[in-house]
Amino acid sequence: RGKELRLTLAPLGPAATQDLVFRFGMSGSFQLCPAAQLPRHAHLRFLTRESPPRALCFVDARRFGSWRLGDAWQLGRGPCVLSEYQAFRENVLKNLDDKAFDKPICEALLNQKFFNGIGNYLRAEILYRLKIPPFEKARTVLESLKDQEQARRKKNPSLTLSKKLKLMRENPDLLELCHTVPMEVIAAEKKPFDPDHLDNYAAFKNWLQCYLVPGMSSLRDRNGRTIWFQGEPGPMAPKGEMSHKKRAQLKADPEALTPKVTTRASKRRPRAAGKPPKLAEEEEVADGPRKGRARGRRKATAVPALSEPEAPVKAKRSRRTSARRVRGEA
């Protein structure tokens, strides 16, 4: 149901059944293998009674998955986008006042309270097919679906189920794609995510139209998850984030996007034209507590004389002016 799996264990003897509810995280899966050749990260194992025994292992390299005893689904998860589509659709449209829909649509699609079963690659594919900017406000996108559904019912009040399905395939909306896009993956005959079968994974990559596809843009949402898209990101895009294309451009040419940095010294008023720089002298500064950075003795950098140097002019300068000039020349 959505992103959870309930496994019911039947006892071999006179005992009650036992239920386990699994959440797979990003990399959790089941593998059946000889008990003497357990895979790495096999955190839970069910052994057969045959000889030699085999093991059904729950394998999770990243340890994001989990399991718990009991038959209850996790609280806070809405109806499944696959097996409970009509309840899923109604749950979204009747709760559009929820604060979850104040967020961008790409972040709302990962909220399992309303989109139970939608993950990172699925949200990218769904939004790409409808050309919806990922950082458009979720309520703005979904309220239009509510109006369309009411208009459709008024126009065709006696549509049969087959005609409704036909209309859904021809002109799908966002909630309908939340059902049909995952069904495309499940309907595949092979195991699309199995890394041990490269042909299967290559077929899955060919199926992807947006996620991880070269030429697409990408940004991190406020939850730190990367969303892939094409075109403009939308009005609620995070400020200061750089798209995947710009990061690649910056990597290729670091100076292309680097802003010019203006130093404090460069902001100072330039010397008047025609006045040659004065010859630098070793400046004695009295020890003791003083304001600013200039403390102790400092030496100014010698400036090469002009072809016709003028005689240096001695002038009375305050300690503060001397310190500023020393810092500027340094």
Low-confidence spans in the chain with pLDDT less than 50? 257-267, 276-294, 296, 299-303, 305, 307, 309, 313, 315
Delineate the domains of the chain, giving CATH numbers in brackets.
Answer: 5-69 (3.20.190.10), 85-246 (1.10.8.50)
Q: Which residue has the tokens 């100072």?
A: 268
Distances (CA, A) of 223 to 101, 103, 104, 125, 281: 15, 11, 11, 19, 59
Strand ranges inside 102-248, DSSP E:
217-220, 226-229
- Residue 209: its pLDDT value, please? 96
What residue has token string 């004695």?
284
Taking alpha carbons only, the member of 26, 20, 16, 25 closest to residue 5 is 20
Q: How many CB atoms sit inside 10 A of residue 275's CB?
A: 8
pLDDT at site 6 = 93
Percent of the chain with pLDDT over 90: 48
Q: What is the pLDDT of residue 163?
A: 63
pLDDT for 286: 40
Phi, psi (rounded to 5 degrees) for 67: -150, 155
